Structure 1
Amino acid sequence: MIELEGLTKYYGDTLAVDHLTFTVLTGIVTGFLGPNGAGKSTTMRMMLDLDNPTEGTVRIDGKHYRQLDDPLTYVGALLDAKAVHGGRSAFNHLLCLAQSNGIPRARVGEVLDTVGLSSVAGKRSKGFSLGMSQRLGIAAALLGDPKILLFDEPVNGLDPEGIHWIRNLMKNLAAQGRTVFVSSHLMSEMALTAEHLIVIGQGRLIADTSMADFIHRNSRSYVRMRSPEQERLLDVLHGEGIEAVAVGNGSLEIDGVPAERLGGLAARHQLVLHELSPQQASLEEAFMRLTAGSVEYHAHDGEPVTARTGPPEPAQGGWGADWRKKGG
């Protein structure tokens, strides 16, 4: 379990992370989301004692990272896939890590096989593609068979097969009772992988909630109806006091009325329906709606314009204040 309490980071006069407090639970994949510059990478670096907080604390099962003996056997992390000595082979890079943490040499071959790099184990990492570097970084994170794993943008550079593999890997690690904390800009992947979400904006906590609850609270739900008898359908709906909006292609959108009631209504009036479908926004749509006020850069007519709008209105669990470029 990872616990953050009042975690704050200034770089000079710039506030990067603003009193973050949340807990990352074991046994599930927790997604870490926020716009560019929200403070995600800075937060993860402070979890690993790579940056010192200005205020507040991070504890991993009650200890600071620097207090852990043989830390790779406790916490595995991928923050920067290219942070590797380019002159070393994949095997030797992992071997150095293993020897410095008391991990058996045989484990190097095991993780190389797990990530699919056995065939290039003897090649220097400077010739690796981004996808291969990602796999090597994941191998390093898995090397000590740790209880806690942190991944920052783990699918960068991976092909579809690789994305499918890392998605299942993270789910399997969580199913084993491990803590899995992953930051990603790919909303479609987070929707398929994470069960819980931590969302920050401008350095502050925006949401700490389940995936399902996050989407439900921050998106519009409605029912789409389509009928060759649209005018009669509208008359029936209006007669019941139900508002419907025509959106083209003969479709109507209705808010706040269950699909079951609408289907029963159509049946009673012997109306032919070509579509009756409840619609729920995607994670991406919910994320965009919730974080709209904390986005650092907005584009207008193709030209980027820096927009500092100030803290948005509070939502589920607090708001944030990180608008610098390097916060994650």
Structure 2
Amino acid sequence: MIELEGLTKRYGDVLAVDQLTFTVRPGVVTGFLGPNGAGKSTTMRMMLGLDHPTSGSVRIDGRHYRQLRDPLRTVGALLDAKAVHGGRSAYHHLLCLAQSNGIPRSRVGEVLDLVGLAPVARKRTKGFSMGMGQRLGIAAALLGEPRIVMFDEPVNGLDPEGIHWIRTLMKNLAGQGRTVFVSSHLMSEMALTADHLVVIGQGRLLADTGMADFIRENSRSTVRMVSPEYERLREVLHGAGIDAAPDGRGGLEVTGEDAAHLGELAARHRLTLHELSPRQASLEEAFMRLTATAVEYHAHQDRPAADASAGGGWGAGWDARGSRGSQERKEPRR
């Protein structure tokens, strides 16, 4: 279990993490979401004792990270897959970590086989692809068979097979009762993997809730209705005080109404329906809706690419808040 209480981090005048309080519980995959600059990486670094909080605390199974005698046996983490000496082989990289934490040498071969790197175990890591580096980072995180695992963007560089593998791995670890905490910008993957979500924006907690509840509370559901009696259907809905908008595909889109209620209404008026389909919003839509005011860097989609060269370089395509990240910060939120 990971417990944060009032966790705060300042870099000079910049407040990177602002009074975060939440608990990451065992037995579920907890997703950690937030826009660029929200403070996710800074928060994870403080969890691992790599950064010191300005105030507040983080406890790992009731203790501060620095109090853990064999940290790799308690917490396994992947924050930066590139943090490897390129002159070492994958085997010797993991062996060094194992020996420093009292982990048997035999465990090195086990995790290399688990992540699919056994055939290249004796090759120097400087020749590894991004995906191979990710697998090695995951192997290091699992080396001590920890009760808690933390992954920052674990699917970077992985092929479809690798993405499916890491998704299954995280679910299996949670199923064993371990604490699994994962940060990612890939909403489609998070929707398939996470059971619980912690969402932050500009360093502040925005949501701490289950996946289904998060989508329901931060999005709107619609029902698509298609009928050969299009105009009459609109009249019936209007007469019932229900707003319906054309969906551009020959149907009507109704917001805030139950599909069963709409079907019963159509039946009472003997209306033929060719389609009555409820549509649940995606995790991406719910996330965008919740974090709309917490996004720090905005690209202007309606501005032509030529503006970048005509109006002062790449920065011309960003709003005024974009300059805040590059000019005011001594240490950016990540």
CA distance in 1, matches of 2:134, 2:274: 46
Query: Secondary structure in 2 aligned to 1:191?
Result: helix
CA distance in 2, matches of 1:56, 1:119: 45
1:29-108 equivalent positions in 2, closer than 5 A: 29-108=29-108
CA distance in 2, matches of 1:199, 1:232: 44
CA distance in 1, matches of 2:164, 2:331: 30
CA distance in 2, matches of 1:307, 1:62: 43
CA distance in 1, matches of 2:183, 2:329: 18
Is 2:144 aligned against 1:144? yes
Query: Where do 5+ consecutive residues of structure 1 fail to align?
Result: 310-321
Give 1:266 deviation, angstroms. Answer: 2.2
CA distance in 1, matches of 2:179, 2:187: 20
Is 2:274 aligned against 1:274? yes
CA distance in 2, matches of 1:20, 1:224: 40
* Aligned counterpart for 2:321 among listed residues 305, 308, 323: 308
Moved more, 248-257 or 130-139: 248-257
CA distance in 2, matches of 1:238, 1:122: 71
Query: Alignment identity in percent?
Result: 77
User: Whose strand fraction is larger, Structure 1's or Structure 2's?
Assistant: 1
Match of 1:203 in 2: 203
CA distance in 1, matches of 2:299, 2:291: 15
Query: Secondary structure in 2 aligned to 1:53?
Result: coil
Could you tell me which amino acid in structure 1 is paired with residue 321 of structure 2? R
Give 1:324 deviation, angstroms. Answer: 7.6
Match of 1:326 in 2: 332
Q: Residues 247, 239 of structure 1: CA spacing in aligned structure 2 closer, same or farther, 3 A cutoff?
A: same
CA distance in 2, matches of 1:298, 1:232: 43
Deviations 1:241-295 (A, max 9, x none): 3221112221101122211111122233332222111111110011111111111
Q: Residues 244, 325 of structure 1: CA spacing in aligned structure 2 closer, same or farther, 3 A cutoff?
A: farther
Query: Secondary structure in 1 aligned to 2:243?
Result: coil
Could you tell me which amino acid in structure 2 is paired with residue 18 of structure 1? D
Q: How many pairs were matched up?
A: 316
> TM-score when scaled to structure 2?
0.91
1:118-129 equivalent positions in 2, closer than 5 A: 118-129=118-129
Give 1:304 deviation, angstroms. Answer: 3.3
Give 1:96 deviation, angstroms. Answer: 0.5
Q: Is the Cα contact below 8 Å between 1:153 and 1:183 reproduced in 2?
A: yes
Q: Is the Cα contact below 8 Å between 2:112 and 2:139 reproduced in 1?
A: yes
Match of 1:232 in 2: 232
Match of 2:174 in 1: 174
Query: RMSD between aligned alpha carbons?
Result: 1.6
Match of 2:309 in 1: none
Deviations 1:47-104 (A, max 9, x none): 0000011111100011011100111001000000000000000011000000100101
Match of 2:261 in 1: 261
Match of 2:28 in 1: 28
Query: Secondary structure in 1 aligned to 2:292?
Result: helix
Could you tell me which amino acid in structure 1 is paired with residue 51 of structure 2? D
Give 1:214 deviation, angstroms. Answer: 0.7
Deviations 1:159-201 (A, max 9, x none): 1111111001000000100000000000001101001111000
Q: Is the Cα contact below 8 Å between 1:7 and 1:55 reproduced in 2?
A: yes
Moved more, 40-49 or 294-303: 294-303
Which stretches of structure 1, 4 residues or longer, exceed 6 Å deviation after superposition? 322-325
Query: Secondary structure in 2 aligned to 1:308?
Result: helix
CA distance in 2, matches of 1:174, 1:323: 37
Give 1:308 deviation, angstroms. Answer: 3.3
Query: Where do 5+ consecutive residues of structure 2 fail to align?
Result: 306-315, 323-327
Match of 2:165 in 1: 165
CA distance in 2, matches of 1:249, 1:295: 32
Q: Is the Cα contact below 8 Å between 2:234 and 2:244 reproduced in 1?
A: yes
> TM-score when scaled to structure 1?
0.93
Q: Is the Cα contact below 8 Å between 1:38 and 1:323 reproduced in 2?
A: no
CA distance in 1, matches of 2:222, 2:177: 37
Match of 2:243 in 1: 243
Q: Is the Cα contact below 8 Å between 1:37 and 1:324 reproduced in 2?
A: no
Match of 2:325 in 1: none
CA distance in 1, matches of 2:3, 2:29: 15
